Amino acid sequence: MDPVRVLVTGAAGQIAYSLILQIGKGDLFGPSQPIILHLLDIAPAMGILEGVVMEIEDCALPLIQGIVATDKVEDAFKDIDAAFLVGSMPRRPGMERKDLLHANVKIFKVQGEALDKYAKKSVKVLVVGNPANTNAFICAKYAPSLPKENFSAMTRLDQNRVRANIAKRINVTPDKIKNTIIWGNHSSTQFPDVKSACVCLPKGNVPVYDAVKDTEYLRGEFIKTIQVRGATVMNARKNSSAMSAAKAAVDHMKDLWLGTPKDEYVSMGVVSDGSYGVPKGIVFSFPVTIVNQKWKIVQGLEVDDFMRGKLDITMKELVEERDEALQVCED
């Protein structure tokens, strides 16, 4: 079996520290798929990355057949099959989202150009570094030879947070919660939606609204809790989410690579085709199903006035981010 070449950017960082282990021990591609790791970071971090490589070697993981550790994009992006674009300036306490956009969008312009020039045309690209949706939009724009469908942004962490929140509230394990949705941006404007979600119980599937029995909570405190969960974690540990972000990245890429279970969908930031009134071209989190490594936006879900209002807020933010990012890249 030929090895899969997997790129992790920001490879000396804290998210990558968890992510690389999960990839290397088979959580992503399975227990028999060999891997060649491509690890990219900036020149000042190469000493740290050298230590990470030593640790990977000391894990004695049989699936890892090679490691390319570098600060050169031409080596990092060469012939890769999958890319986790993690490397970016992390959000710090008190930092405005606009500051984050200005700091990171040019990074993803450069990486889009590198993907266009060096990666396989079939490469699957997951943008983790924030602002993830807009970074994915810019990355795809500057990789014109790659299909736009190859690019996605991570809202799986938010989806996992929804499942954990609901599961805790009704005293089941998170795997029993199906078809939760994150609409829109990976930001505090996102709309976590459980209207179509269900709880898998021995007696059958029960709608989340019926299991929770608290509409006021689900349309109020619950939404706010999920929207600000990243900031809550940051305030507690004095750093952004890392272990949970790495797990979500693997969940996202695994579904993208192997497909979604029958009758289930997951949330991903993908290029809008106009579904649900979302402007075409922006990277927006939708519910999707995946077959043969191709995603498809779930159609036909009811949009009531409450949901429409929430979608309009996050759409507006993403359009503004897109316009500002384009201006930054052109300056």
Residue numbers annotated as active site: 186
Residue 91 labeled ligand binder: yes
Q: What's the alpha-carbon Rg for the chain, to the nearest Å?
A: 19
Distances (CA, A) of 235 to 89, 157, 210, 248, 328: 18, 17, 33, 20, 30
97 has binding-site annotation: yes
To the question of whether residue 128 is assigned a binding role by annotation, the answer is yes
Retrieve residue 325's tokens: 């990012």
**198-201 β-sheet, strand order:** 177-178, 198-201, 204-207
Instruction: Name, in order, each residue with C-beta under 8 angstroms of 35's C-beta and a sequence gap of 6 or more.
Output: 3, 4, 5, 6, 23, 24, 29, 63, 64, 65
> Which residues does 331 contact at the CB level (< 8 Å), separation at least 6?
none
- The C-alpha angle 123, 128, 131, rounded to 5 degrees, equals 120
Establish whether 41 is an annotated binding residue: yes
Residue among 56, 50, 12, 54 at smallest CA distance from 37: 56
Residue 184 is classified by DSSP as B
Is residue 302 a contact partner of residue 197, using CB atoms and an 8 Å limit? no
Which amino acid is residue 188, in one-letter code? Answer: S
**What is the Cβ-side half-sphere exposure of residue 55, based on CA atoms within 13 angstroms?**
14
Residues making up the annotated binding site for substrate are 91, 97, 130, 161
Residues making up the annotated binding site for NAD(+) are 41, 104, 128-130
Residues making up the annotated binding site are 41, 91, 97, 104, 128-130, 161
